[in-house]
Structure 1
């Protein structure tokens, strides 16, 4: 079951990020100017933001298995619209529609958290969310190869087909997800607003915003200098850098075990320090691909470790509203990713890769500051959560 859930996460998130390694040919075909190319990624991420608010809370009311299948079907519709787009307008609309229903990722993660035993939640979350990283980074390799062989539109045809296959598999193979007595939809959506008043939740959200802005700065901007002089790499060659990211990210699967062992906060701080350090290596892209690769491995290890630790912390604090909590947290992820994708191409067009590297390091430093300032709030929330347990002993 975990493997299927991880595969769903991988394909769904790939639909949002597949444009990253093929921004140049995609922009040329759709007549999108260079300084606006980042919006081909941001359109899906902004759609994702809408889905986080309006769709993910439904998982606390309805059978998540059925929601997973339905949303995968609608992701396929969006992908086909992009594949057949005659111009930029239809492509942007298809990407936004895809992003809205790609939040099936969060419904899937919530499903995994809800059916896990407390002592295994971190490990299961680590395994399932590894699918997210596989999708984000593996899609770069898949997209590069397909674009070189059949053109960039083939990427979206393949992702549409995979989405449909996984939707059918979810209905046939996943156990029914029995929900508690129905809650009003307005109360579920309002639950996100209430979370925004909690200091512990806000601190984790701020970390996620800057974390994924840093992540997006690298992966949405890196294709531009790699396809230019002196490297002039093809889409397939650029996509291969996703393998370096996968190596780092999958190495951080153990972050779930650290979280189960009560080390989530410490692991977050150390990983954010590593994230900042990675940008010193990534900044060397114009002169050294070897240092770039090492920097990518470190960056993706750090991002995955922080992401798993954040989700473990928040789902432990709110076990009765897992979908709403994850949906609210991922709003920060979506906004951060969109900001990183949109700003890196603008900065690159004016200041080159050095400017983009400074931007990414700045986002990483801001995430570390958010973590340090949020430590007291998280500890207070954890004490409140443990108090009833201790009182009952």
Structure 2
């Protein structure tokens, strides 16, 4: 019987870096859409198709690749996904046409789910009393990757053209792939079933684990709130304040507050407060919408609202993950697939509904929609999570 490798601080930092690098692959393209539209003679909507297909690729990777973390030796799996992401990014940088850029973007989306293999791996290696903190640390790396991807992309494109962004990112991922094979310890698979049984077991987990069902519902609705806000906020800032895209992009940097929320939520989960802290984070999200509404006339109010909504959403996300990973040690990658697929689908629905709401009633309609979904999250949490004794909080849900 093999003993479980120790999760050292160095290994945790390495996993956090990999989480950030891999998820960044999905976001490099966002600041480049205008450049790409000009180069290929496309409308902004057509160029934006790149973001959509990459996200669809990511959803495919969540469903098809992430469950393999329970079925395969994870060091090899992480090495392969990182190397394939590096190849996909290089192909994007050398793409001869927009169509090929789209194809390679899909492939990068599928393989850059490395982060979603690393998060359950951190939960697997951590001791029970440190699991929340470990998940929070790797998620902090993921959030930092999302933040810095746009900044890195903008600077590289300015200095050396848009192709340099993907070529440089490819080199970083290739280095990480080699490092994975050398640094990640050998970890035996936790599942030896057939592939068919492996994938069907994700549905069985939803059937058998009420904690997974309600945490996935809350997570999906919270990410819908995220999509509702970020999809329409730029329209409001341009209309009300005449802001440039560059200045609007700076509001994304406020997202760094999410890293603080991740660490706080992880530590609260380790102390057995995940259930109550989830409610506090959800109510923080609700409170943000009053300030965001007032943000039509006050940038100070708007900025405070952005801070609160990010704190609430990221804090609830880490609390959800901490509780989900307590459920079944042998199925943590499949639990990740179930939870994150729900989370991702919620975000897609939120973005689509936000665009419709803004078209029908402007920013006030978006605020009403976002506040309504936020309140629904609190109602679901109160109805499902407060039924159980407080002493059970450390053991899920």
Q: Distance between the aligned counterparts of 2:242 and 2:394, measured in 1?
A: 55
Q: 2:20 aligns with which of 5, 10, 30?
A: 10
Structure 1 residues 153 and 342, CA gap change in structure 2 (3 angstroms): farther
Higher mean displacement: 68-77 or 280-289: 280-289
Following superposition, the deviation at residue 45 of structure 1 comes to 2.3
Structure 1 residues 224 and 173, CA gap change in structure 2 (3 angstroms): farther
Q: Distance between the aligned counterparts of 2:253 and 2:346, measured in 1?
A: 23
Following superposition, the deviation at residue 148 of structure 1 comes to 4.2
Higher mean displacement: 135-144 or 3-12: 135-144
Map Cα deviations across residues 320-351 of structure 1 (whole Å, 9 max, x no partner). Answer: 21111112111112212333344444554565
The answer to whether the Cα contact below 8 Å between 1:56 and 1:106 also exists between their aligned partners in 2 is: yes
The answer to whether the Cα contact below 8 Å between 2:191 and 2:330 also exists between their aligned partners in 1 is: no
SS in 1 for 2:25: helix
Q: 1:230 aligns with which of 205, 220, 241?
A: 241
- The match for 2:4 is none
1:71-86 to structure 2, matched below 5 A, reads 71-85=81-95
Following superposition, the deviation at residue 104 of structure 1 comes to 1.1
Structure 1 residues 170 and 162, CA gap change in structure 2 (3 angstroms): same
Following superposition, the deviation at residue 46 of structure 1 comes to 2.0
Map Cα deviations across residues 330-387 of structure 1 (whole Å, 9 max, x no partner). Answer: 111221233334444455456544444444334333333332343268879x69979x
Structure 1 residues 162 and 216, CA gap change in structure 2 (3 angstroms): farther
- The match for 2:7 is none
Map Cα deviations across residues 146-166 of structure 1 (whole Å, 9 max, x no partner). Answer: 344445444333332222221
- The match for 1:246 is 256
Structure 1 residues 383 and 303, CA gap change in structure 2 (3 angstroms): closer
Higher mean displacement: 356-365 or 292-301: 356-365
- CA RMSD across the alignment: 3.0
Q: 1:205 aligns with which of 208, 216, 224?
A: 216
SS in 2 for 1:366: helix
1:338-353 to structure 2, matched below 5 A, reads 338-345=348-355, 347-348=357-358, 351-353=361-363
Map Cα deviations across residues 108-155 of structure 1 (whole Å, 9 max, x no partner). Answer: 011111111111111111111111211222323333433444454443
The answer to whether the Cα contact below 8 Å between 2:190 and 2:331 also exists between their aligned partners in 1 is: no
Structure 1 residues 291 and 140, CA gap change in structure 2 (3 angstroms): farther
Q: Distance between the aligned counterparts of 2:364 and 2:95, measured in 1?
A: 34
Q: What TM-score results when the alignment is normalised by the length of structure 1?
A: 0.86
Whether 1:159 aligns to 2:169 is yes
For structure 1, the 5+ residue unaligned runs are 387-393
For structure 2, the 5+ residue unaligned runs are 1-10
Q: 1:216 aligns with which of 227, 231, 235?
A: 227
Q: Distance between the aligned counterparts of 2:272 and 2:27, measured in 1?
A: 32
Q: What TM-score results when the alignment is normalised by the length of structure 2?
A: 0.85
The answer to whether the Cα contact below 8 Å between 1:249 and 1:300 also exists between their aligned partners in 2 is: no
- The match for 1:322 is 332
Map Cα deviations across residues 57-108 of structure 1 (whole Å, 9 max, x no partner). Answer: 1111211121112111222233334444555543433332222112111110
Q: Distance between the aligned counterparts of 1:152 and 1:357, measured in 2?
A: 35
Aligned length: 384
The answer to whether the Cα contact below 8 Å between 2:269 and 2:394 also exists between their aligned partners in 1 is: no
SS in 1 for 2:172: helix
- The match for 2:309 is 299
Q: Distance between the aligned counterparts of 1:78 and 1:246, measured in 2?
A: 28
Q: Distance between the aligned counterparts of 1:75 and 1:379, measured in 2?
A: 45
Q: Distance between the aligned counterparts of 1:251 and 1:360, measured in 2?
A: 20
Map Cα deviations across residues 292-313 of structure 1 (whole Å, 9 max, x no partner). Answer: 3222221221122111111111
Map Cα deviations across residues 166-188 of structure 1 (whole Å, 9 max, x no partner). Answer: 11211111211222462222221
Q: Distance between the aligned counterparts of 2:280 and 2:107, measured in 1?
A: 37
Following superposition, the deviation at residue 47 of structure 1 comes to 1.6
Structure 1 residues 260 and 70, CA gap change in structure 2 (3 angstroms): same
Following superposition, the deviation at residue 263 of structure 1 comes to 0.8
Q: Distance between the aligned counterparts of 1:268 and 1:49, measured in 2?
A: 25
Q: Distance between the aligned counterparts of 2:70 and 2:359, measured in 1?
A: 44
Following superposition, the deviation at residue 41 of structure 1 comes to 3.0
Q: 1:60 aligns with which of 40, 53, 70?
A: 70
1:182-193 to structure 2, matched below 5 A, reads 182-193=192-203
The answer to whether the Cα contact below 8 Å between 1:213 and 1:339 also exists between their aligned partners in 2 is: yes
Q: Distance between the aligned counterparts of 2:234 and 2:51, measured in 1?
A: 13
